Structure 1
Amino acid sequence: MPASPNPPCRHAAALLLLAAAPLAALASCSISSGGAVGAPETKSRLAPPAKAPDADNDDDEDDDDGDALKAAYADMSRTLGTVTNVPVRGRLVRESGPPDLLASTPQKEMSQREIKRVPVEIVVLDNDGKNRLRLGVTQSDSEGYINTSFPLKAGTLEPGLHTLEVRVSGRRAGRTTARLLDTGFTGLVVRSDVDLTYLDTRFTRKRDMLSLLSQSARERSTLPAMERVFSALRAGAAGGEDRALVFISGSPRFFKRVLEARMTLDGVTHDGILLKPFDDMIMAKVMSLDFGSIVPALKEQVGYKLVHLMNGRMELPPQAGELLLGDDSESDFIVYSIYHRFIAGNLDMAGLENELVRAGLDGSQREPVKTIAQKLRSVLPPSKLVKAIYINRTGSPNSHHAVKDWVVPGLTHYHAGAWPLILDLYEEGFVSKESVAAVRKRLLSIGQAEKDLETAHEDGVKSGFLKRETIALFKAGGSAPPAVN
């Protein structure tokens, strides 16, 4: 039987990253995981054939025994692609039955028993649940992850939401969805951070970090009315656009189920949550005896998010616009500023390097960004595709970098909460007047007063991105006419 992951080691790894546990404790673990993936896949292709297992290392064996495959569960993520490219992402694990997402906590998910290096078949189903199209076969990697894309000929699948079934040894292991956009799509895609942009996540103190490990979806808190804002963004100005929404978070992958469940409770429909491969990164550093760089690697956000944004950009139609949402607590405002200026052509490769240095990335952290940036530049001509950058004012801003130093004139909107945000989204023509009313109603229902809303929108006026004429449309007792631009 293949060796299973060592839960105490993975638990120690999580405590290290969330509560600064001693490196010596991590080093003393009996590590059974294999190779590491420190950044998202940068090539849209099928996964390569697995290397032959090392006969002298039991941990390197493939999980091809019957018991493991019968218990295989494909814990998949929703994805966003085009009608000519279908991304597939998830993890193959041993599960005794369908997971109860509402009972899940990050601590429970730390020691998932991955099923390594086994063939996985991906099939598109029709509306009746019958086979429609066999995309092909890929393979789980040394940590059980599946991260690949299937190219298609134009016309094979129509734009829209498609159900994918994941099969192992001919049996269903799980299902997910892929939203496919037409290659000529010119509408908007929303890409957002999670913590302190959508969820009220406090992680400045060690006890707060440890508390996050044991919290279920019901115990996580949403920032006031932000669930209504994301619903408004999906609906669009016309009210039925069903815009694509993808979240990119620096949280560990073992937060996936809790975040998915929280979004379900909030009624936030999304097209993917991209999370950081903490376990993989820790194991890679431990295996190379590079203990001193573990914590910096886990905390680094600029390079990690830029790679995800650029890789995701190549999975979008070339003329799709983007709305970017983040906050001032870590580095979203830096990431979005660099990303926009690079894809718009304001930064060449040398300029990108300079900005990465200014952001504090060392040489090893800059290389993955430069690699994916070079590939992106080769397939996407410079285009001003980012239509707005929204940065939430959290009250606990980044202590090393100021938002004002990374502002993109005309694009960066530095707001305080949901109310000035939804007003400006309406002013820019991104959401409907009904959505603004829904956010206002929600804020008042959870205890905010008219004075609180006034303070928030006045901050938007002083910041220069919100007009008083827009505010006047939604005064108490008033009714709003059609959107103004």
Structure 2
Amino acid sequence: MTSDPADPSEPTRPEGQALQPRRFMHLRWDLDKTYLRTEFDTVKDLIKTFRQKAEEKIAVAGASALLRALLDPRERSHRRVTFISGSPRQMRKVLTAKLALDGVEPDMFILKPNLENLLRGRFRAIRGQVGYKLKALLLSHMAAEHVDEYLFGDDAEQDAFIYSVYADILAGRVDAVALAAILSTCKVYRGDVDEIMAYHRQLFGSGEVVRRIFIHLERRSPLDRFAAYGARVVAIYNYFQGAAVLFEAGALEPRGLLAVTEAMESEGYTPERLANSLQDLMRRGVLHFGTIERMSRELAAAESTMGRPVPRFVHAFEDAIGSLENLQRPGPRWEAEINYLGIYHEARFRRQQHRFLGIRLLD
């Protein structure tokens, strides 16, 4: 692996400054447990999920509001969203219908060929995600000169691992030898390895484009599980936290922040609960004190500029600021070199083993 000590987060923008006009943004979303509240831990769960109609599927609180805000029609010409899901291709129609009901139209929607894997006896690939998702990410990468990628996943699978490997391939930190070792350790099938290595030859070192990787803590995994990935990976308990980090980066406009705030309130999140979410980010050094001050000002201005009263949230956020003004902590480091093999071996001891007709499916 090669090493680059530069901080790849927002390398040229001071805190709070918006993205430069016309800078391309590529959003990558996982689906199950990241965008949709999906259960698939048992065969009964899988059958129920497969039989659900579009209107019966439920989005994670704030997810659709955040995505719609990021895909604001005023910005849509230079923003793109790709969904990469482990759901089978046979669910494309119902999943596309659900996204349409939410007002979301993906530019690319990649689903897993599980029936093909089953018929070909590729049982590890049915449950395994590394080969499938890494190949899909590389295939759908936008070779743009100025691009910011924001990736969204969850802690139910290996999203933080896969997304980080992808980011470091583009950044030129995971070379061919290192990638081959990772794919071998993850027991990726030979045909997938060949395709991934071909994409690696084309895209290696193409740019420091992945700004943030958001991991929705669906299973409430311990935060220290993601420490080895550095500051690029941000574990979030809810999408208001994701919105706050994107607001600080200049990727989300105040009107989008307000839309997410209102969506979270409609899902039962009180102002105090959202303020606690901000406190959590500050304690971790992910969000800066000045950002919460600016959020409070922008929300206060919404009453006059957008005609929507939000004083309860403003007061709660101001209380959060007052209690943490002197407790701002240094943020996590941006890791120049990540021990992917070590992370993978450690994670294997924690993952549940899944079987299909008596065959272990985990790669």
Same fold (TM over 0.5): yes
The 1:242/1:219 distance shift into structure 2, 3 A limit, reads farther
Kept in 2, the 8 Å contact 1:186–1:320? The answer is: yes
The separation in 2 between residues aligned to 1:424 and 1:228, in whole angstroms, is: 15
Question: 1:332 Cα shift?
Answer: 0.8
Q: Does 1:346 align with 2:176?
A: no
Tell whether 2:31 aligns with 1:194: yes
For 1:361, the equivalent position in structure 2 comes to 186
1:308–1:188 Cα change, 3 Å: same
Which one of 99, 106, 120 corresponds to residue 270 of structure 1? Answer: 106
Determine if contact 1:232/1:431 at 8 Å carries over to the other structure.
yes
Kindly state the Cα deviation for residue 300 of structure 1 after the two structures are TM-superposed: 0.4
The SS at the match of 1:251 is: strand
Alpha-carbon distance between aligned partners in 2 of 1:461 and 1:187, rounded to the nearest angstrom: 29
Note the C-alpha offset of 1:277: 0.6
Alignment match, 2:71 = 234
Q: Residues 279-332 of structure 1: CA distance to partner in whole angstroms, max 9, x if unpaired?
A: 1111111xxxxxxx52x220000110001111112x643553322111111011
Inter-CA distance 397–373: structure 2 relative to 1 (3 Å threshold): farther
User: 1:391: which partner in 2?
Assistant: 215
- For 1:69-468, what aligned pairs fall within 5 Å after superposition? 187-235=24-72, 243-285=79-121, 294=123, 296-313=124-141, 316-317=143-144, 319-357=146-184, 360-362=185-187, 364-365=188-189, 368-378=192-202, 381-395=205-219, 397=221, 402-405=225-228, 407=229, 409-468=230-289
Contact preservation (8 Å) 2:169, 2:203? no
State whether residues 192 and 325 of structure 1, in contact with CA within 8 Å, keep that contact through their aligned partners in structure 2.
yes
After TM superposition, give the deviation of residue 475 of structure 1 in Å: 4.2
More strand by share: 1
Kindly report structure 1 stretches of 4+ aligned residues shifted beyond 4 Å: 238-242
> Is the 1:343–1:382 contact (alpha carbons within 8 Å) kept by the matching residues of 2?
yes
Percent of residue pairs identical: 28
**SS of match in other structure, 2:26:** strand
Unaligned runs of 5+ in 1: 1-184, 286-292
Residues in 1 aligned to 2:200 and 2:183: alpha-carbon distance in whole angstroms: 17
1:440 is displaced (CA, Å) by 0.5
What letter matches 2:178 in structure 1? Answer: G
Residues of 2 paired with 1:284 and 1:353: CA distance? 24
Q: Distance in 1 between matches of 2:102 and 2:202?
A: 40
SS in 1 for 2:189: helix
CA distance in 1: counterparts of 2:138 and 2:271, whole angstroms = 41
The 1-side partners of 2:203 and 2:233 are apart by: 26
Following the alignment from structure 2 to structure 1, what is the Cα–Cα distance between the partners of residues 39 and 288?
32
TM-aligned CA distance change 1:451 to 1:206, over 3 Å:
farther
Equivalent position of 2:356 in the other structure: none
CA distance in 1, matches of 2:37, 2:59: 5
Provide the TM-score with structure 1 as the length reference: 0.53
Q: Does structure 1 conserve the Cα–Cα contact (< 8 Å) formed by 2:171 and 2:204?
A: no
Distance in 2, Cα, partners of 1:239 & 1:232? 10
SS for the counterpart of 2:106 is coil
Deviation track 1:170-220 (CA, whole Å, cap 9, x = no partner) reads xxxxxxxxxxxxxxx851111111111111112223322221121101110
State the TM-score, normalizing by the size of structure 2.
0.70
The superposition leaves residues 239-294 of structure 1 with CA deviations (integer Å, 9 ceiling, x where unpaired) of: 56551111000110011111111111111122121000111111111xxxxxxx52
Q: Structure 1 residues 240 and 277, CA, compared in 2 at 3 Å: closer, same or farther? A: closer
**Match of 1:479, as an amino acid?**
A
How far has the Cα of 1:392 moved from its partner? 1.2
How many angstroms does 1:225 deviate by? 1.6
- Work out the CA distance in 1 between the residues paired with 2:117 and 2:136: 16
Q: Which of 1 and 2 has greater Rg? A: 1
Matched letter for residue 435 of structure 1: G
Separation (CA, whole Å) in 2 of partners of 1:235 and 1:366: 41
297 and 376 in structure 1: CA distance in 2 versus 1, 3 angstrom threshold: closer
CA contact under 8 A between 2:135 and 2:192: conserved in structure 1?
yes
Give the distance between the partners of 1:280 and 1:216, measured in 2 at CA: 24
SS of 1:213 mapped into structure 2:
helix
Question: 2: distance between equivalents of 1:239 and 1:212?
Answer: 34
The count of residues paired between Structure 1 and Structure 2 equals: 280
Question: Residue deviations 1:102-156, cap 9 Å, x none?
Answer: xxxxxxxxxxxxxxxxxxxxxxxxxxxxxxxxxxxxxxxxxxxxxxxxxxxxxxx
Partners of 2:76 and 2:169 in 1: how far apart?
32
For residues 35 and 105 of structure 2, the distance between their equivalents in structure 1, rounded to whole angstroms, comes to 13
Task: Tell me if the contact between 1:420 and 1:466 (Cα under 8 Å) persists in the aligned partners.
Answer: no
- Larger relative helix fraction: 2
* Matched AA of 1:467: H
| CA deviation after TM superposition for structure 1 residue 367, in Å | 5.3
Provide Cα deviations, 1:430-470, integer angstroms capped at 9, x if missing partner. 01000000111111123211122122222222332112322
**Unmatched runs of 5 consecutive residues or more in structure 2:** 1-21, 306-363
Point out which structure has higher relative CO (alpha carbons under 8 A, 6+ apart).
2
Tell me how large the CA RMSD over aligned residues is.
Answer: 2.6
